[in-house]
Structure 1
Amino acid sequence: MVIELIDELQNYTIVQVAAGDQHSLALTSWGLIYARGDNGYGELGVNSCDSHTATRKLVKSLARKVTVQLACDANHTLALTADGDKNTFGQLALRHRQGPQKDPALVTSLAGTLLVLLAAAGHHSAAVTQARLPAVVGVKQAGSTGLYSQG
């Protein structure tokens, strides 16, 4: 395995990176998100579902918000903004049966809930609320969400 430096982001202070199955994101100290990689489900949040983006792109629709945390895996990405909104881009948490999601969208089931931490793995996502309660969404196989579902 060869580790490569990302020269195109050398003028930014990167405070976090997140990697999905075939996509990656970088979060700058200004709260901007840069995304690159597979985008078949819109997991990059760059207003398209082009299958692959070779150059890193700014997630413009969240550029007016200050993002403080990223989480991603499989075919989805999550971004937590400074005002506590939980935005998700990709397929999960928006019922992927509706098809790919080109732009970030607020998870309406958590509207009004202040979130402080995000996590994502496989085909499920989790968040911690300001009241320190967990919120989970996704495929319930093998108890991955902490919820049991028959069938």
Structure 2
Amino acid sequence: MRVLSDDRESYIEMIPVEYESQHLPSVSLMISISASSYGHLYSASNPTVWFTKESLKKFISDLNLLDASRQGAATLQSMSPNECEISIFAFDHRGHVAIKLLMSKPQFGTGQMFQHHLETGFELDPTELLNIIRGFKGLLQPISTS
């Protein structure tokens, strides 16, 4: 699924990589971003970010409340602390909405560890919230290939 900015210049894309249904129902997503800012293009990706299905369901429920009230926020956290956080929120009294993505990943060198951080965000077209909700619901179920 792809979440586009209201100006269609930036996006966050989430593609299911793996599903776990036995021990802790969860899904691994490849998350890619492309953000345009004043003519400069920034991009990054993380090939495997795990989320519990329970946290995805709560996020979808919170998105439905956000869509109905145009107030508050819905936040999704990865299973690994501080690895990924996605937040969709209303930012004014008129019900305009935005998305913010935080990603972090350690990089190990010879005797040294560096923490790579990325934070991006952009305004969304509020009429697209239902499509965004459908997209997140689609991430809950593996696609049947039969």
For normalisation by structure 2, the TM-score amounts to 0.26
* More strand per residue: 2
* More helix per residue: 2
For normalisation by structure 1, the TM-score amounts to 0.25
Larger relative contact order (C-alpha < 8 A, sep ≥ 6)? 2
